[in-house]
Structure 1
């Protein structure tokens, strides 16, 4: 039996979360029969019901818009560039967080790990570990996987790369129609010495709660762990997908080097 776009999307999300029609219907306060009719195209879902289904399924805003479009409605959430006037206050908040992270690195990235902003500390640490060589990429995953970028400076590369691959697989599983994420995965898997097992999603391993990245440098090894800040209850697709990654020193030596670099700049 063929299914309309809305039915296909709902079935994909149910399968991803291992929900039966009955379980999803129960949590969304709708009859299983009505949900079945929506999936097969025999009934039309209201915008309110779609919103409840999206809440139960934990859909990000981009996927919620796709659900609305598949049902024949206009997208619910706007998507605007970060530099548009309507997001001015949000940009100020981002800039404040990034500036306050000094003398430690901070990065603003989008859902595909493209770097949108960095603070001066990130530039100083990058110049130190890259020995003044310019990086090839403005994408964190490509930086980590490309042997001609920052990869050779990462002491615990396999651990770091495995964690990033796991996150990317999970994001693709959450947004299977994201062609850019799929292309990014295919590209980084082509880099040398990437284990073949990483081509498949590892559903048995959870991401490490704290990942420490250690870099080689002429000032000795520098170790950082990261925290990630996101916007709570965003009403804009762009804000929903922006992450602020703040790196903190994992030892006293790293903290001292960061302070010295800041004082000398």
Structure 2
């Protein structure tokens, strides 16, 4: 083990990782956080203990997500600041009602609630109906990236797969670059890159190639083609880790044929 690394407090390691991710020098971060570069250097090297207020200011300057803010506080020897509540807990009951309303209003078109790792936490009836139609069964995964990258799953029904999958990977690469401590995202990247037919160039982050603002996903089963574009809804200024990581994806038909199919599919499933 490197003796220098071993002697450094965990908070110092985290701060250096985040500075590198944000491309900030010690002086840049110190100025943003309202402290001296010497004090920040001492914190990173384990020679000085940061106050809780200083850690909070550093997290603000680094624009850290709530989960990572908690991790930084714990590494510095303090209790986490932001709670993490399950969607089914009383604390988030008003939010759950709002989410249920959004999912219901999106019918007969698909809508999903996903977290920062693209796990599908909730979905409306239309989403389940459309997926079952496309696959002829339920998906093997509760994760959108896995669905879109496994040739035996939804990937087999995506006409413009390379366009959609490439865009999803750009988002994943961006998340990893923005959140260097997210080991789950790194493992997910390795997993999806391991599927056959994934271009080698996707292993590297294309910094100059930002995710597209609007993409149409084109699906086909037999003679039926479905075209959707999506909108993403997040919660403003959340104080709970769960809310900070939630996103509601609503899919809208890109043509009348898709809209008519979704309406007919909803009617058929109501009769069954």
Please report the TM-score for the alignment, with normalisation by the length of structure 2: 0.92
Is 1:227 matched with 2:231? yes
Q: Once superposed, which parts of structure 1, at least 4 consecutive aligned residues long, lie more than 6 Å away?
A: none
Match of 2:214 among 210, 217, 238: 210
Structure 2 residue aligned with 1:75: 80
SS at match of 1:216: strand
| SS at structure 2 position matched to 1:248 | strand
CA distance in 2, matches of 1:63, 1:84: 22
Q: How does 1:75-224 map to 2 (within 5 A)?
A: 75-130=80-135, 132-218=136-222, 220-224=224-228
Does the 8 Å contact 2:26/2:41 carry over to 1? Answer: yes
For residues 222 and 90 of structure 2, what CA distance do their matches in structure 1 show? 43
Is the 1:219–1:257 contact (alpha carbons within 8 Å) kept by the matching residues of 2? no
Instruction: Tell me the secondary structure at the aligned position of residue 224 of structure 2.
Output: coil
Distance 2:252 2:232 in 1: 11
How far apart, in 1, do the equivalents of 2:197 and 2:263 lie? 35
Structure 1 portions without partners, runs of 5+: none
In the alignment, structure 2 segments of 5+ residues that lack a partner are none
CA distance in 1, matches of 2:260, 2:147: 25
Q: Hey, what does 2:19 align to over in structure 1?
A: 14
Structure 1: distance between partners of 2:250 and 2:186: 26
- Does 20-29 or 206-215 show the bigger shift? 20-29
Per-residue CA deviation, residues 158-196 of structure 1 (Å, 9 max, x unaligned), is 011111111112222233332322222121111111111
Deviations 1:1-41 (A, max 9, x none): 44321111111111111111111111211122221221112
2:265 is equivalent to residue 257 of structure 1: no
Q: In the alignment, is the contact (CA less than 8 A) between 1:136 and 1:148 conserved in 2?
A: no
> How high is the TM-score relative to the length of structure 1?
0.94
| CA distance in structure 2 between the aligned counterparts of 1:117 and 1:134, rounded to whole angstroms | 14
Q: Secondary structure at the match of 1:203?
A: coil
1:218 Cα deviation from its structure 2 partner: 4.3
Q: Give the number of aligned pairs.
A: 264
User: 1:59-110 CA distances to partner (integer Å, 9 max, x unpaired)?
Assistant: 0001101110111111111122221222111111111111111111000111
Is the Cα–Cα contact under 8 Å of residues 10 and 76 in structure 2 kept in the other structure? yes
Task: Note the aligned Cα RMSD (angstroms).
Answer: 1.5
Structure 2 CA distance, aligned partners of 1:193 and 1:69? Answer: 42
- Out of 52, 60, 67, the position equivalent to 1:55 is 60
For residues 89-133 of structure 1, the C-alpha deviation after alignment (integer angstroms, 9 at most, x for no partner) is 111111111111111100011121111111011122112222x22
Distance 1:177 1:228 in 2: 24
- Asked if the contact 2:18/2:180 (under 8 Å) is kept, the reply is no
User: Quick one: structure 1 residues 219 and 255, their matched pair in 2 at CA, closer, same or farther if it must change by over 3 Å?
Assistant: farther
In the TM superposition, residue 53 of structure 1 has moved relative to its aligned partner by 1.4
